[in-house]
Structure 1
Amino acid sequence: MTDTLRTPPGPPAAAPDAAELLDAYRTMRTIRVFEERLHDEFATGDIPGFVHLYAGEEASATAVCGLLDDERDVIASTHRGHGHCIAKHVDVKAMMAEIYGRTTGSCHGKGGSMHIADLSRGMLGANGIVGGGPPLICGAALASKVRGDGGVAVAFFGDGGSNQGTTLESLNLATVWNLPAVFVAENNGYAEATAAEWSVGGGSIAARAAAFGMPGLTVDGFDYFAVREAAAEAVTRARNGGGPSLIEVRLTRYFGHFEGDQQTYRAGEVRRARAELDCLLRFRARVTAGRDLTVAQLDAVDAEVARLVDEAVAEAKAAPLPTAADLTTDVYVTY
């Protein structure tokens, strides 16, 4: 079962049409511009806390979340969660305000970069705990299974998170309970500065799937279409009662593990990835060559996204900060 996804019950997901492709490009471009702008804004010292950027990994979140809906399907993210949020349709302006710690943020300025959440969109939250997401989606997947609503739960985690006991226990539990779950390991090559080639036993993260009785597959994370094909099969299987899957998406991050990381452990990798592997450049080349979309359509999206992010930053900076009275709100739930 290693490195192969079995044929899922039910018909496979349809190939993306022009509207879906344009929406996918918009999502990837929004993630890229959002993250690159944060890279610049963080350097000013106006953003509190740590920031971990997702630039370079856009195809993974976009392809997976594009197959999900906001009503039934949920995701759990990582400390590098901005891309997952945007792909799951969390409001960009509310996200920016949250990162700036403002009351207009999606969590009223209390979560910051590593804890953005929006349950109305099925986004259970970014997570400062490495390997914290997989157990959450087991619970969400079990709830969907009990309700019989066809919902799917997806956990994103990194190569570092793949070695956490919480992740391995979740893989086992998902199989034992036959949960509608998809585990997406975004292997960007480094757990902070520790190389995955050294720290991941068994040859690959996907190879571990066989030990838990689920299908696993490794895909090219620079290729939106490759990720979408694998994710479509896994989501369809989960939605139709076929159980969980593990997808290892191999990609790279363009910035450091966190803002301020000098990346002395990398030599020329980012420069090569930006020039030769970039998921946005590859996407543009494929859809324009196939005449699915035009250069003018893509350029219009670029302009639209640039305006949106400019507005998000300006509005976030102008929004009010929480007050002392806000400390005790949203702490307890009253039933």
Structure 2
Amino acid sequence: MWKRMRTSTLRLRGRANRMHRARPMKAMQMANLTLRQLEYIISVAELGSVTAASKQLHVAQSAISASIADLERTIGIQIFIRHARGLSPTREGHEILDESRKILLGAEGLEQYAADRSEVLSGSLIVGCYTTLASPILPPSLAAFATKHPQVHVDFTVGHSDQIIEQVQHGECDLAILYDFLREGSFTELNLQSTPLTRSRPYVLLHSEHPLASAHVIDLADLVDDPFILFDLAPGAEYFLSLFASEGVEPRIQYRSRDFELVRGLVARGLGYSILSQRTVIGESYEGLPLTMVDLSAQHKGLEVISLTPDTRLPSRRAQAFISECRGVLARP
């Protein structure tokens, strides 16, 4: 998470820092702490073991263990309890970890301030994107971003929601674009910051000759006897099924598929209907068969499309600029 940060020395003096108030520390009159040490204890606390932190940070276990032990000796506080399953923070350790996160956030803010003084953005950016949002959002966003910021190298990864969230948590992605699937209010618990970009209302996908294809809106109760083709990519499947539950009906599931275009193709062949969130500008399947999109009733407010960044540090200017491009793409009619 803090790999790019240079190891710096922090001089924390006696009463100047609230960490010192956790326990009297005579040795803290002129103690030297490093940002790297703080990075290590945060990683161990979040992952629960030195072994897991070693893999994430690509640092030898012995180096992490020695660094933590040295930090505990320096400040005179036991940060972790060692047990068979790994390490757990002590009560005072939790306070140390809270202060360490603040220090690292401030240090990165200083680093970002220095970078922001340059008008030209450079460096690298890794973007994670939910599967069905990737095709409509990434190509135009990447093209516009590359034109404005040619010195930034952008890479991306595409996957399901939980996979992308984990990559942001572990520092493998700088930001993610995804749906807020049933996660209202939960991202802060994952040390993530979500920012709404737009709202996408669910719709019914029908083959062109379906009796309801000419309707303006549809209630799911009108389709309860028809075969349903479920887009079965987690956690989207749970969301789509929750729409039926909210109307007190149960779908007659005929097929399940994690392939977005396969779902559309099955519908185009008249094998059933589907409920989707991602709208397409192409009104036909791969075979060239026509499809019809009809809005669900107004009681279904839809999903927010959000950007997701770690809340333990400020989003870089690169990340902010890319999110701005995504917001512009999503605002198009």
Pairwise TM-score range, normalised by the shorter structure: under 0.3
TM-score of the superposition, structure 2-length normalised?
Answer: 0.22
Q: Which fold has the larger relative contact order, with Cα–Cα distance below 8 Å and residues 6 or more apart in sequence?
A: 1
The answer to which structure has the higher strand fraction is 2
Computing the radius of gyration from Cα coordinates, the structure with the larger value is 2
The answer to which structure has the higher helix fraction is 1
